[in-house]
A and B are shown apart, each in its own frame.
Chain A
Amino acid sequence: MKLRYLSDLGKFVLWQKEVFRKPENWGMYYKELIRQMYDIGIGSLPIVLLIAVFLGAVTVVQFYYQMEGTLIPPYYIGYIVRDMMIIELAPMVTCLVLAGNVGSTMAAEIGGMRQKEHIDAMEIMGLNTSSYLIMPKLIAAAYVVPLLVCVAAIVGIIGGYLASVPADLFTQAEYVQGLRAFFIPFNVVMMLVKSVTFAIILVSVSCFQGYFVKGGSIELGAASTRAVVYSDILILLADYFIVVLLTQ
């Protein structure tokens, strides 16, 4: 079992040489890049918005519950929501959701192409399929996922506002004061570093699982599941290491 993981890791590393080979036709790669950007960005926007608004709302309500009756000023809740969304919740939860949504789709799409001999057909045409099928997805995700995460952070903060101010937990002025308090611009850099890293992880892992799938529909389903599970585990690990590295 351990040997299989090591062998997969070796295969993955060697595969990168093929993935980042010079494109045969820049125009076709560009078209594929735009398609992927649309699929990842617009395709995932509704679920990302929905999750972000509730993340912000729940964070506010729970912190209000914990801090009620303490000497901590209420505007701190706005500050906590802002930093939690920016540093942790927006990048991590968005990417975990994307691993389930985009990652499993990519694994199934590429795995399906492998099983239906589409990849073989492209290879025989003289196309480097590792590059054509994977590189546009990687680049698209590295551009679009940080944008989605930014949107998620903003919508989460709005969700926090909607759950607190209309419910009279505290005033709008207090919430806005909290949002503007103790702002450290580096936190946004940390969010972007996380987003790009997680995007690369979820696309690489998912495409790898799909590209090298063997067998039939049961194996394809298993590959899709592995894509999500491995992406999630690696995203959580990467999250920890990024936080440790960037907060020292």
Chain B
Amino acid sequence: MIRAEGIFKQFGDQEVLKGVDFTFESGKTNLIIGRSGAGKTVLLKILVGLFPPTQGRVWFNDIDYTNLDKKGILAIRKKVGMLFQGNALFDSMTIEENIRFPMDMFTPMTPLEKQMRVDEVLERVSLSGVNLKYPSEISGGMQKRVGIARAIVLKPKYLFCDEPNSGLDPKTSITIDELISDITNEEDITTIINTHDMNSVMEIGENIILLEAGRLAWKGNKEQVLGTVNKELDAFIFASPFLKKLVEAAKNNGKNSLENL
């Protein structure tokens, strides 16, 4: 469980987060949704410890992460995996070297054990056989999967994903969502995903918060999204003119809510 307690963040004069309180539950895919500039990435980076909050605390179970010393922070980070928006794969290393890097650095595993683990996680993300390719030699979707493989190679307790679907086609996005959701359930890890993709919300959103201008505007789960009366969430969902037209068409046919579509 990860708990954000009264998180404020200010960059110069600009207040990006204005008191966010929320508990991200264990064994669930927790989603942070919101429009671009709402503060999603900043919140995610505060949770993971890349930015210190201006005010507030982050708790990993009963440990106050924001007040830990460097040694404590490093100890928590060894239980964390992260998938970055741009993947952050080391481009001068092969896929195999990328995935092996955390094991080389932090484990006393033998080369054979590392090789087996690399093959295992690559198989888990359906990418067997790309070991010796470089990140530039594979597609964006494959890079995302390598990013997931690297994030889970040390069996983390917490998985953070920053816009895992950005730049991907809808079908690949669904594959990535399902993969993250499956891994979360199989490994019983706390997953926090930062996204503005409504497909992800409806597919894997077990615990969702909506950020609007740095404030928590709504919280719930994917079942509650459809019947919402929250104006901010409504505006977020129906930001697309196509969806608006679809709803209008449904209303004209006597169907009054999204559930009836």
B105 lies within 8 A of chain A by Cβ: yes
B77 lies within 8 A of chain A by Cβ: yes
CB neighbours (8 Å) of A124 from chain B are: 48-50, 77, 80-82, 160
CB neighbours (8 Å) of B91 from chain A are: 116
The residues in A between 22 and 59 inclusive whose CB is less than 8 angstroms from any CB of B are: 24-25, 27-28
CB neighbours (8 Å) of B132 from chain A are: none
Q: How far is the CA of A125 from the CA of B49 in the complex (A)?
A: 11
By beta carbon, the residue of chain A nearest B102 is A125
Supplied contacts A24-B105, A126-B74, 13 more A-B pairs, CB within 8 Å? A21-B70, A25-B104, A25-B106, A28-B104, A116-B91, A117-B85, A117-B88, A124-B77, A125-B105, A126-B75, A127-B105, A128-B70, A128-B74
CB neighbours (8 Å) of B155 from chain A are: none
B170 lies within 8 A of chain A by Cβ: no
- A121 B84 Cβ-Cβ under 8 A: yes
- Say yes or no: A118-B50 contact (C-beta < 8 A), given A25-B106, A126-B74: no
CB neighbours (8 Å) of B70 from chain A are: 21, 128
The residues in B between 86 and 142 inclusive whose CB is less than 8 angstroms from any CB of A are: 86, 88, 90-91, 101-102, 104-106
Interface band, chain B: 20 to 34
A219 lies within 8 A of chain B by Cβ: no
- Give min CB distance, B79 to chain A, whole Å: 9
The residues in A between 121 and 156 inclusive whose CB is less than 8 angstroms from any CB of B are: 121, 123-128
Most chain-A CB neighbours within 10 Å: which of B77, B88, B104?
B88
Task: Give per-residue flags for B163-188: 1 if the beta carbon is below 8 A from chain A beta carbons, else 0.
Answer: 00000000000000000000000000
Q: How far is the CA of A110 from the CA of B244 in the complex (A)?
A: 46
CB neighbours (8 Å) of A27 from chain B are: 104
CB neighbours (8 Å) of A128 from chain B are: 70, 74
Q: How far is the CA of A125 from the CA of B85 in the complex (A)?
A: 16
- Give min CB distance, B131 to chain A, whole Å: 19
Picked from B78, B84, B106, the residue with its CB within 8 Å of the CB of A120 is B84
- A28 B105 Cβ-Cβ under 8 A: yes
- B84 A125 Cβ-Cβ under 8 A: no
Binding site for B on A (CB under 8 A): 21, 24-25, 27-28, 116-118, 120-121, 123-128
Main secondary structure, interface of B, reads mixed
CB neighbours (8 Å) of A121 from chain B are: 82, 84, 88
Binding site for A on B (CB under 8 A): 48-50, 70, 74-75, 77-78, 80-82, 84-86, 88, 90-91, 101-102, 104-106, 154, 160
Picked from A24, A25, A123, the residue with its CB within 8 Å of the CB of B50 is A123
- Give min CB distance, B44 to chain A, whole Å: 11
- Give min CB distance, B127 to chain A, whole Å: 18
- Give min CB distance, B145 to chain A, whole Å: 16
- Give min CB distance, A243 to chain B, whole Å: 40
A-B contacts, 24 of them at CB < 8 A, read A21-B70, A25-B105, A28-B104, A28-B105, A116-B86, A116-B88, A116-B91, A117-B85, A117-B86, A117-B88, A118-B90, A121-B88, A124-B48, A124-B77, A124-B82, A124-B160, A125-B78, A125-B101, A125-B105, A125-B154, A126-B74, A126-B75, A126-B106, A128-B70
- Give min CB distance, B158 to chain A, whole Å: 10
- A125 B77 Cβ-Cβ under 8 A: yes
In the A-B complex, list the 10 residue pairs whose CB atoms are closest, starting with the nearest.
Answer: A126-B77, A121-B88, A117-B88, A126-B78, A124-B82, A126-B74, A117-B84, A125-B102, A25-B105, A28-B105
Most chain-B CB neighbours within 10 Å: which of A24, A116, A117, A124?
A124
Q: How far is the CA of A24 from the CA of B88 in the complex (A)?
A: 21
- Say yes or no: A123-B77 contact (C-beta < 8 A), given A116-B86, A118-B88: yes
Q: How far is the CA of A126 from the CA of B86 in the complex (A)?
A: 20
Q: How far is the CA of A24 from the CA of B91 in the complex (A)?
A: 23
Q: How far is the CA of A231 from the CA of B81 in the complex (A)?
A: 37
Q: How far is the CA of A201 from the CA of B200 in the complex (A)?
A: 50
By beta carbon, the residue of chain A nearest B91 is A116
- Give min CB distance, A58 to chain B, whole Å: 39
- Give min CB distance, B215 to chain A, whole Å: 26
Q: How far is the CA of A24 from the CA of B154 in the complex (A)?
A: 16
Q: How far is the CA of A127 from the CA of B88 in the complex (A)?
A: 15
CB neighbours (8 Å) of A116 from chain B are: 86, 88, 91
